Amino acid sequence: MSNEDLDGIVERMLDGSEHSRRQFIRHLAAAGLLVGPGSAFLAACGGVKGESSGKKASAVSNHPKVPIGTWTFSNWPLYIDKSVLKSFDKKYGGHVKYVEDINDNFEFFGKIRQQLQAHQPIGRDMIVVTDYLAGRLVRDGFVEAIDKANVPNSKNLVSNLQSINYDPHRNFSLPWQSGAIGLGYDRRKTGRKLTSIKDLFDPKFKGRVTFLSEPYDAAGMVMLMNGIDSTHATIDQITNAIDQIEKAQKAGQIRRFTGNDYSTDLTKGNTWVAMAYSGDLVQLHADNPHLEFAYPEEGSMLFTDNMMLPQKSQHPYAAETMMNYVYDPQVAAKIAAYVNYISPVQGVKEILAAKSPKLASNPLIFPPADVVKRLHPYPSLSPADERTMEERMAQVTGA
């Protein structure tokens, strides 16, 4: 076809007679009709499956020893002494890509859920999630069993965590750290020491308060404030607590609902009081030395975050080697001293005591007996109750 031909056709197409243009459009419409049902069919295939359709993963696995390679470890911000990663790389070879991309359990689950459900790898070989999400991942078969032969140090796990309702034999999970939810505040701004959960509702701090967005934490703390045993709370007690949070939010008392990112506003002085995780504030001293943490007198929610192998983990052996490494009491002591959370590894206290008596008496790493009495584990809710709670909370936090 010569160039003149082509030009002619294009020209006619662009400003051709009304007749041919209409015909052209009609053809297009016909094509659209053909495509239409096709895509509806595609759409039908894309129906969303439920989580519980997943099969339960096998409780044993065998991960052969392979070179470590480059692998990915997802964790929460401010949750490791990064020199541990360097020494791990040095000792075992390979390279650990350490990503601090978990800010909130449900938010994180929302990110990875699609892949989990499609039985695809999530691009992370090891994740660290809190008990209630850990339980859900086990229930839905979204995690792989840990090959215990690769983690001999797991014998160092403290006795009170050796069994947990969702994973009685710790086949799928190994605790990373435990900690408490309490009050994080800027002493200079509040002008006084804070001791009670009620301080979060003090009108003097209006608009300067952040709450955690996870209902297990936020509602749990409010229930403790009201004298309810939040470990055995009913769904009605939980939704009542959320109602109370909503009222404070609408009144302008609560500025934002946060995940681990409460730290940003707090260090910058935009907020004065935060519902906070126990260990973070010490690390934030570098940015703002006036930050303090208090175990409230009414009690605290106690959380344990767990290392898990997401289903289709590409480097399970590397992840297990890391689990084993951080369960070496020497390494665990190093992490505990840095992050100021409660270590699940036996022998940490002795090591820290030998190093520095001050660390061994740090109430964040080793909560005193009267605090321990006031630490409350999360309630174990049915999937339906958990959903009711999440949806109610989302109405308050997400919009």
Partner 1 sequence: MLRLSLRRRRKLLPYLFLGPGLVWLVVFFLVPLLNQSYVSLESGNADTGYAFAWNWSTYSDAVSSYHTQFTRSLLYAGAATVIDLIIAFPLAYFIAFKAGRFRNFMLLLIVLPFFTSYLVRTVSWQLILADNGWVVNRLRDVGLVSSNGRLLATSTAVIAGIAYNFLPFMALPLYVSLEKVDRRLIEAATDLYASRATAFRKVTLPLALPGVFAGSLLTFIPAVGDFINALLLGTPNQYMIGNVIQSKFLNILDYPSAAALSFMLMGVILIGIAIYARLLGTRSLTEAAAA
Taking CB under 8 A as the rule, does residue 256 contact partner 1?
yes
| DSSP code per residue over 71-136 | EEEE--TT-S-HHHHHHHHHHH-SEEEEE---SSHHHHHHHHHHHHHTT---S-SEEEEEHHHHHH
**Rounded least distance, CB 198 to partner 1, Å:** 21
Determine the Cα–Cα distance for residues 131 and 65; give it in Å rounded to an integer: 29
Contact pick of 4, 18, 29, 44 for partner 1 (by CB under 8 A): 44
- From 279, 282, 302, 303, select the one nearest 291 (Cα to Cα): 282
Residue 207, φ and ψ in degrees, nearest 5? 75, 5
Taking CB under 8 A as the rule, does residue 2 contact partner 1?
no
Taking CB under 8 A as the rule, does residue 19 contact partner 1?
no
Taking CB under 8 A as the rule, does residue 30 contact partner 1?
no
Taking CB under 8 A as the rule, does residue 22 contact partner 1?
no
Which of the stretches 35-43, 75-83, 168-176, 298-306 binds partner 1 when contact is defined by CB under 8 A?
A: 35-43
Determine the Cα–Cα distance for residues 223 and 229; give it in Å rounded to an integer: 7
3-state secondary structure of 144: strand
- From 212, 230, 137, select the one nearest 393 (Cα to Cα): 212
Binding-residue total with partner 1 (CB under 8 A)? 54
Residue 196 Cα distances to 64, 231, 296, 344, angstroms? 51, 19, 5, 27
**Rounded least distance, CB 286 to partner 1, Å:** 18
Which of the stretches 156-164, 176-184, 300-308, 389-397 binds partner 1 when contact is defined by CB under 8 A?
A: 389-397
Taking CB under 8 A as the rule, does residue 270 contact partner 1?
yes
Q: Could you give the string, one character per residue 184-223, with x where binding to partner 1 holds by CB under 8 A and - elsewhere? A: -----------------------x----------------
| Contact call for residues 97 and 70 (beta carbons, < 8 A) | yes
**Rounded least distance, CB 121 to partner 1, Å:** 20
Task: Output 137 or 322, the one with its CB closest to partner 1.
Answer: 137
Contact pick of 148, 255, 315, 376 for partner 1 (by CB under 8 A): 255
Contact pick of 11, 22, 30, 35 for partner 1 (by CB under 8 A): 35
Contact pick of 196, 240, 249, 380 for partner 1 (by CB under 8 A): 249
User: Which amino acid makes up residue 26?
Assistant: R
Contact pick of 29, 48, 118, 286 for partner 1 (by CB under 8 A): 48
Determine the Cα–Cα distance for residues 327 and 68; give it in Å rounded to an integer: 18
Taking CB under 8 A as the rule, does residue 52 contact partner 1?
yes
- Biggest CA–CA distance in the chain, Å, is 93
Taking CB under 8 A as the rule, does residue 390 contact partner 1?
yes
Contact pick of 13, 30, 33, 59 for partner 1 (by CB under 8 A): 13
Determine the Cα–Cα distance for residues 353 and 361; give it in Å rounded to an integer: 8
Taking CB under 8 A as the rule, does residue 29 contact partner 1?
no
**Rounded least distance, CB 253 to partner 1, Å:** 10
**Rounded least distance, CB 31 to partner 1, Å:** 8
At a CB cut-off of 8 Å and minimum separation 6, what does 187 contact? 193, 290, 291, 292
Taking CB under 8 A as the rule, does residue 111 contact partner 1?
yes
β-pair partners for 96: 71
Taking CB under 8 A as the rule, does residue 289 contact partner 1?
no
Determine the Cα–Cα distance for residues 264 and 255; give it in Å rounded to an integer: 13
Task: Output 169 or 204, the one with its CB closest to partner 1.
Answer: 204
- From 111, 165, 160, 105, select the one nearest 138 (Cα to Cα): 165
| Contact call for residues 123 and 312 (beta carbons, < 8 A) | no
Residues interacting with partner 1, by CB under 8 A?
1, 5-6, 9-10, 12-13, 24, 27-28, 31, 35-36, 39-40, 42-44, 46-53, 106-107, 110-111, 113, 207, 249-250, 252, 254-257, 264, 268-270, 383-384, 387, 390-391, 394-399
